[in-house]
A and B are shown apart, each in its own frame.
Chain A
Amino acid sequence: MASYEVMVEIRHLPGINDPEGATVERALPALGFSTISKVSMGKAIRFSIDADDVDSATLSVNDVCKRLLANPVLESFEIKIREIK
């Protein structure tokens, strides 16, 4: 068994409204940040998992993302995983 540190980034699917991102983007020029665009707000979820190897850890994390952490109607997810030595 090894331990893995996992970071899941959850994003809006293309075409899904992102009112938080749009609001932040609208506020930026007032602070002088006029060159920033394409602001997108999502979620970052960090946790640890014990598994035999990186493949089985990734499989479990994929499963938990599909079943709980992300809503497939609105969101996509990206998994970053690294072994904790």
Chain B
Amino acid sequence: MHLSGIVVFPGTNCEFDVAESIDKAGGISQLIWHDTTDLSKFDSIVIAGGFAHGDYLRPGAIAKFSPVMSSIERFANDGGTVVGICNGFQVLTEVGLLPGALQKNDSLTFICKNVEIVVSSNFSPLTKNIEIGTELLIPINHFSGNFTVDSETLKVLEDSGRVVFRYKSNPNGSTASIAGISNETGNVVGLMPHPERASDILLGSEDGLRLLKNLILI
């Protein structure tokens, strides 16, 4: 059975929701504190949302020096599956596992609402079995979700099918309406929307669970 390690930094606050929804998707989850260095037993690592190290300086900037991060880099470089949700996406860009950066929303407001996103690529552990063009209703909850990347890197992302999710209606100013991307080997994915918050019909949508069900197939 798929064992997923959910990374918890001081300030992470979505770990229990992620753990519960991964369990619901059929996997097993285990919370791992940010000083953990042995990740060998895990089938995937999920960096949950929140405010790692208070988001001081920039979101994710301090988190990259937590001991777990160099282990996650090794885990990813060895082909391991890594998912960064919201603050986790910000951490992955800060550490360099994903390109670009998440700057403040262009509205300069915190945005918390359901948004429609479109699956733009199957080149990620979350979208392997989801048809391109599928629309999903999944909430966002962020102040710095404005994905920013230079035009050269954007072209590389577009040409290699690494733009995994796009907002149907751009809520935050993200370049090319990008909501999530993967790395060049397709085993690391980061997204601003929170799949775990769309994991039960009582929450308004189960579309996030579809993504997590893909994850646990690995």
- The interface on chain A, measured as residues whose beta carbon lies within 8 A of the other chain's beta carbons, has a size of 10
Nearest CB of A to B102, in Å: 9
Among A14-70, those with CB < 8 Å from B are 16-17, 19-20, 23, 68-69
Q: Please name the residue on chain A nearest to B94 by beta carbon.
A: A71
Whether A68 contacts B148 by the Cβ 8 Å rule is: no
Q: Please name the residue on chain B nearest to A16 by beta carbon.
A: B148
Of all A-B residue pairs in the complex, the 7 with the closest CB atoms, nearest first, are: A73-B101, A19-B108, A19-B106, A74-B101, A71-B101, A19-B104, A74-B103
Whether B108 contacts A16 by the Cβ 8 Å rule is: no
Interface centre among B57, B108, B150 (most CB of A within 10 A): B57
Q: Please name the residue on chain A nearest to B108 by beta carbon.
A: A19
Assuming the contacts A20-B108, A23-B108, asked whether A69 and B103 have C-beta atoms less than 8 A apart, the reply is: no
Nearest CB of B to A77, in Å: 13
Interface centre among A17, A20, A69, A73 (most CB of B within 10 A): A73
Nearest CB of A to B81, in Å: 24
Assembled-state Cα–Cα distance A12/B141 (Å): 24
Residues of chain A contacted by B146 (CB below 8 angstroms) = 17, 19
Which residues of A are at the interface with B, using a C-beta cutoff of 8 A?
Answer: 16-17, 19-20, 23, 68-69, 71, 73-74
Interface string of B83-124 (1 = CB under 8 A from A): 000000000011000011101111110000000000000000
In the assembled complex, B61 has its CB within 8 A of some CB on chain A: yes
Q: List 7 A-B contacts (CB under 8 A).
A: A17-B103, A17-B148, A19-B104, A19-B105, A73-B99, A73-B148, A73-B150
Nearest CB of A to B94, in Å: 7
Assembled-state Cα–Cα distance A17/B175 (Å): 10
Assuming the contacts A17-B103, A19-B107, asked whether A73 and B57 have C-beta atoms less than 8 A apart, the reply is: no
